[in-house]
Amino acid sequence: MKKIKILSLSLVVVLAGLFTYANLRPLSVAEKLPTVDLASYRLKGPMTPAERLALEQKMSALPGVTACSVNKEGRVASVLFHRKEIDEAQLARQLSNKGQWRVAQKALQTSGGCPMHGMTAPFHAFISVLDLRN
């Protein structure tokens, strides 16, 4: 019974320490910025360079969109956006330009990434959950 009490007390102390660390540590620059998502779309239909540029400018001007880039051939559009302000369906509607181009969301490939990040990511995710400032 004494071992259970010591173990419980130790666990409470560790969690209290992690909670304190999570809320008193300085936030990094990246943690202070709103989350940005990336969506990529396949575009079908003829597109001139002027139309490509106009589409990029139109998309970049939308609320919640931070950047838009259409490749030189006008076949793929990549959009950086804030999910709280605009979603993928709205982006696709805007990209279609009132039906001028057919738009399909493109699946983005993911890679394993850095093995070191894979080891530290769970800790940082846990600390982020404990952080009341987010």
What does CATH list as the number for 37-106?
A: 3.30.70.100
Token pair listed for 72: 């030189």
Instruction: Give the tens place of pLDDT for each residue, 65-117.
Output: 999 999 988 899 999 999 999 999 999 999 998 888 899 888 876 665 667 67
- Compare 22 and 119 and report the one with higher pLDDT: 22
Instruction: Give the tens place of pLDDT for each residue, 14-47.
Output: 999 999 999 999 988 878 888 888 999 999 988 8
| Residue 40: per-residue pLDDT | 93
| Residue 122: per-residue pLDDT | 84
CB atoms within 10 A of CB 91: 23
Contacts 24+ apart (CB under 8 A), 47-55: 47/74, 47/101, 48/74, 55/95, 55/97
Give the bridge partners for 41, in sequence order: 77, 105
Q: What is the torsion angle, in degrees rounded to the nearest 10, for the CA atoms of residue 50, residue 55, residue 57 and residue 61?
A: 160
